[in-house]
Amino acid sequence: HKNLHLLSPQQVELAKMLVEKGQSHLFEHWPEPGVDDGEKKAFFDQVARLNSSYPGGLASYIKIARELLADSKAGKNPFDGFTPSVPTGENLSHGDENFIKFEEAGVREAQNAAFVLVAGGLGERLGYNGIKVALPFETITGTCFLQNYIESVLALQEASYRMTQGGQKKEIPFVIMTSDDTHARTLELLESHSYFGMKPTQVKLLKQEKVACLEDNDARLALDPQNKFRVQTKPHGHGDVHSLLYSSGLLYEWRDAGLRWVLFFQDTNGLLFKAIPASIGVSATKGYHVNSLAVPRKAKEAIGGITKLTHTDGRSMVINVEYNQLDPLLRATGFPDGDVNCETGYSPFPGNINQLILELDAYIEELKKTGGGIKEFVNPKYKDASKTSFKSSTRLECMMQDYPKTLPPSARVGFTVMDTWLAYAPVKNNPEDAAKVPKGNPYHSATSGEMAIYRANSLILRKAGVQVDNPVNEVFNGQEVEVWPRIVWKPTWGLTFADVRSKVSGNCSITQRSTLAIKGQNIFVKDLFLDGALMIDSIDEAEVKVGGSVQNKGWILEKVDYKDTSVPEEIRIRGFRFKKIEQLEKHCTEPGKFELKA
Ligand code: UGB
C-alpha cells in the first residue's frame, strides 16, 4: 500500500487483482517508498505487458493455470472419454497424375494464400547458438532456411501469376512470428540481405511475448531468480501465432484483399516447399477448413500422430496427439502394445509435420469466438510423488496444431500424407542426441536435413528421366546416412514436378560423386553427362542450354567432427564440409540465349 502512489490508476487495478488472486508474495519483499522505486515501476510495466498480451489477461491465466495444475496433480487424463482411431485423409504419391493435378491447382491458388513462419523457438534440442532460420539448409550454395522460404514464396507468386495471366498481380504476404529470443536477429538477417529479394513491406514480423512462470500448484507467479522485481517468464509455445495474427488485424486485411488460405510452417524444413503446391491443391479441391500435412510416422518418433478422437458423448475430432501422449493414450484405450508399427513398418497414425493450411473465412469465424486462444497444457516437473512442489518453475503452453480442438463438428478437417523424402527433413536434434536415435528412425539433425535435400532432388530428377547413380552410405557425426549426388536448384527452376520435367530432356546422367547447382530459372539441361562439379548461374532474362560431358575432380565431402571448435558451428554440426577441388562454372549475366556444351 505504501508504494501505490508510484503506480498509474490502471496499474493500481492490476495490483488489486493480483492480491485478490493470491499473488501478494510478489510485493512482500518490497522496501519502503524511495528505495528501488524505478524497479517497482518497471515491475508493473512488465506485469501490464503480461496482462495485455494474454487473451483474458493475467486473471484468466492464473485461473486456467490453477485448473490445469489441479488436473495434472490428480493425474487426470486429458483424453478422458476419447477413443483413438486412424483417420482417413488424402494420400499423395509424388509424380503421379493425381499429384501433378494437385500441384497445378495449388500453384493456381497460391496467389490467394498468406504464409506464416513460426520462428520464435530457440531450438533447445539443436543447441545451436544462432537463430535456426539463419542456418544453411544446404552448404553447396550456403543458402539459409529463411532465404529458401522467401525465394520459394516469390517463385510461387510468379508461377501463380503466370498461370492466371490477365489477373491482377498479387504479393503473397509473408509473416514471421518471432520472440524476444529471435526477433532482433531475424530482423537483422532480413535487413542485411535486402529481405532476400522480397519487398520489405511484404514481410511482417509479429513478436510473441513470453508468459509468467508458476512456482506452485496454487499458480503463484514466480519471481525471476536474477531480479526480484521481475516475474520470471518462459515461452508459451507456437500456439501463440493464432492470437497474434488475430490481434494484428492482418486476417481481415487479407480477407478484404480476397485471400483464401493461411499456411503455417516451422523454421527448419528444407523440403517444405516441395510439398506445398500439391497440399494447397488438396485444400482448394477438397474445400478443407483445416489441412494438416503429414508423413508416414515410425512408432515412437518424436513427431505427433494425427488421430481421430471419438468421445463417448458422440463428439469426434481429427487432431494431433503429441508424441509423448500417443503411447499412454493407446495403452489406456485397448491397445496394450501402445505406439507400435503396423504391418507397413510404420505407425498407423500419420506423423504431424506441423504444416497447416487453414481456410481464411472459417479461420476468422472461429477466432472471432476464441480471440485466437488455444487450448493449453501444463507440464510441471514434480520434486516427488506427492506432486506438491516443482523442481523448477513451470508455465502454461500451447501448440498451433491444437487449433482444431475448439472447432464445431461441421468443420472440414482433413490431412494430406506425402512421402517423407519429399516433404520433411527438419533440423531439430544436436549431433550427440541424433547419434542415439534408434536405428530406422530419422535423425532430424543438420546432417540428415542436408542429405535429405540431395536425396529428394536426386529422386525427383530420376522421375523426370535423368539417370542418377545410387547413393553410398556414410557415417557423419555418428549417423549413418545415404549420400546421393549433391544436387540443388533455385525454387524458380523447379518449383513443381512439371517444372522440373520441362527443363530436363534427352539422355542425362549424374554420377554419385557429382555436385550440381542450378541457380537460374531458364536453364535447360539436355544430354548432360556429369561426373564432377557443375555450377550454372543465370539471370531470368537469359536462356541457357546445358549439355555434353562434364568431367572434373569435383567437390569432395570431407568429414569434420562436431566437437572440433576450429570449424564454424553451422558446419561442424553437419559432420562434413565440401572441399572444392575442381568445377565447371558458368555465369550468364546478360540477357539472351546461351549454349554450354562441354
Ligand atoms: N516455436 C515458436 O515459434 N514459439 C515457441 O514458443 C516455440 C516454438 P520445435 P516441437 O515437426 O517434428 C513440433 O520446438 O514443438 C516454433 C510439433 O509440436 O521445433 O517440439 C519454432 O521456432 C510436433 O507435433 O518443435 O514439436 C519452430 O519453428 C511435431 O510435429 C516450431 O515452433 C514436431 O514439431 C516448432 O518448435 C516436428
User: What tens digit of pLDDT does each residue of 553-596 get?
Assistant: 999 999 999 999 999 999 999 999 999 999 999 999 999 999 98
Q: Is the dihedral of CA 564, 566, 569, 570 positive or negative?
A: negative
Q: How far is the CA of 237 from the centre of ligand 1 (A)?
A: 8
Which amino acid residue places its CA nearest to atom 6 of ligand 1? 237
Percent of the chain whose predicted confidence (pLDDT) is above 90: 87
Position in ligand 1 atom list of the atom nearest CA 351: 30
Cα distance between residue 237 and residue 381, in whole Å? 17
Q: What are phi and psi of 171, to 5 degrees?
A: -95, 130
Average pLDDT over residues 36-60: 93
Which amino acid residue places its CA nearest to atom 17 of ligand 1? 354
- Residue 563: Cβ within 10 Å count: 10
**Which of 118, 240, 323, 405 maximizes ligand 1 atoms within 8 Å of its Cβ, making it the mutation to test the pocket?**
118
pLDDT tens, residue by residue, 457-475: 999 999 999 999 999 999 9
Cα distance between residue 27 and residue 80, in whole Å? 39
Cα distance between residue 406 and residue 308, in whole Å? 15
Q: How far is the CA of 332 from the centre of ligand 1 (A)?
A: 26
Position in ligand 1 atom list of the atom nearest CA 123: 14
Position 142 confidence tier, pLDDT thresholds 50, 70, 90: very high
Q: CA angle, corner 393, sides to 387 and 397, nearest 5? A: 95
Q: What is the pLDDT of residue 164?
A: 84
**In the numeric block, which cell numbers belong to residue 498?**
512439371
User: ipTM of the predicted structure?
Assistant: 0.97
Distance of CA 207 to the CA centre of its chain: 16
Q: What is the pLDDT of residue 80?
A: 87
Position 277 confidence tier, pLDDT thresholds 50, 70, 90: very high
Position in ligand 1 atom list of the atom nearest CA 399: 18
**In the numeric block, which cell numbers belong to residue 389?**
512442489
Q: How far is the CA of 196 from the centre of ligand 1 (A)?
A: 24
pLDDT tens, residue by residue, 386-429: 999 999 999 999 999 999 998 988 899 999 999 999 999 999 99
SS3 state of residue 197: helix
**Which of 238, 263, 352 maximizes ligand 1 atoms within 8 Å of its Cβ, making it the mutation to test the pocket?**
238
Q: What is the pLDDT of residue 409?
A: 83
Q: How far is the CA of 310 from the centre of ligand 1 (A)?
A: 26
Average pLDDT over residues 29-42: 92
Q: How far is the CA of 586 from the centre of ligand 1 (A)?
A: 40
What type of residue is 181? D
Which amino acid residue places its CA nearest to atom 8 of ligand 1? 121
Average pLDDT over residues 103-113: 97
Closest CA to 360 of 474, 284, 422, 277: 284
Position in ligand 1 atom list of the atom nearest CA 266: 28
Closest CA to 597 of 493, 524, 522, 537: 524
Residues 156, 162: contact at Cβ < 8 Å? no
Q: What is the pLDDT of residue 239?
A: 97
**In the numeric block, which cell numbers belong to residue 513?**
560423386
Q: How far is the CA of 400 from the centre of ligand 1 (A)?
A: 9
Closest CA to 271 of 467, 436, 448: 448
Position 302 confidence tier, pLDDT thresholds 50, 70, 90: confident
Which amino acid residue places its CA nearest to atom 12 of ligand 1? 303
- In DSSP notation, 405-468 reads GG--TTS-EEEEE--HHHH--B--B-HHHHHTSPTTS---BHHHHHHHHHHHHHHHHHHTT-EE
Q: How far is the CA of 265 from the centre of ligand 1 (A)?
A: 9
| Ligand 1 pocket, CB under 6 A | 118-121, 123, 177, 179, 235-238, 266-267, 303-304, 320, 322, 352-354, 399, 426, 428
The Cα-based distances of 245 to 242, 479, 592 in angstroms read 5, 39, 44
**Which of 116, 298, 354 maximizes ligand 1 atoms within 8 Å of its Cβ, making it the mutation to test the pocket?**
354
pLDDT tens, residue by residue, 71-102: 999 988 888 899 999 988 899 999 999 999 99
Q: Is the dihedral of CA 383, 386, 387, 389 positive or negative?
A: negative
pLDDT tens, residue by residue, 146-189: 999 999 999 999 999 998 876 778 999 999 999 999 999 999 99
End-to-end CA distance of the chain: 84
Cα distance between residue 277 and residue 282, in whole Å? 9
**In the numeric block, which cell numbers belong to residue 589?**
549475366
Q: What is the pLDDT of residue 166?
A: 67
- For 97-239, where are the E strands, in sequence order? 113-118, 174-179, 203-208, 211-212, 214-216, 223-224, 227-231, 233-234
The Cα-based distances of 72 to 10, 77, 286, 388 in angstroms read 34, 8, 39, 11
β-strand pairing of 82-85 with 305-311: antiparallel
**In the numeric block, which cell numbers belong to residue 73?**
496433480
- Give the single-character DSSP code of 222: P
Residues 190, 146: contact at Cβ < 8 Å? yes
Residue 6 reports pLDDT greater than 90: no
Tell me, yes or no, if the pTM score tops 0.80. yes
Query: For the CA atoms of 545, 548, 549, 554, what is the dihedral angle to 10 degrees?
Result: -10
Max mean pLDDT among 43-57, 310-324, 449-463 falls in 449-463
The Cα-based distances of 463 to 93, 266, 478, 548 in angstroms read 12, 28, 31, 21
Half-sphere exposure (Cβ direction) of 19: Cα atoms closer than 13 Å = 10
Position in ligand 1 atom list of the atom nearest CA 322: 24
Q: Which residues of 442-458 are buried (b: 16+ CB within 10 A; e: fewer)?
A: bbbbbbbbbbbbbbbbb
**In the numeric block, which cell numbers belong to residue 60?**
484468466
Residue 523 reports pLDDT greater than 70: yes
Residue 207 reports pLDDT greater than 90: yes
Q: Which residues contact 322 (CB under 8 A, 6 or more apart)?
A: 304, 399
Give residue for cell 543438420: 446
Position in ligand 1 atom list of the atom nearest CA 124: 14
Query: Could you tell me how many residues make up the chain?
Result: 598
Q: What is the pLDDT of residue 13?
A: 93
Q: What are phi and psi of 363, to 5 degrees?
A: -65, -45
Position in ligand 1 atom list of the atom nearest CA 352: 30
**In the numeric block, which cell numbers belong to residue 166?**
490477365
Which amino acid residue places its CA nearest to atom 18 of ligand 1? 399
Position in ligand 1 atom list of the atom nearest CA 177: 3
Q: How far is the CA of 238 from the centre of ligand 1 (A)?
A: 6
299 CB-contact burial (10 Å; exposed 0-12 / middle 13-18 / buried 19+): buried
Closest CA to 98 of 278, 277, 273: 278
SS3 state of residue 522: coil
What type of residue is 490? K
Helix, strand, coil percent content, the chain, rounded in steps of 5: 35, 30, 40
Residue 363 reports pLDDT greater than 80: yes
Residue 315 reports pLDDT greater than 90: no
Q: How far is the CA of 270 from the centre of ligand 1 (A)?
A: 15
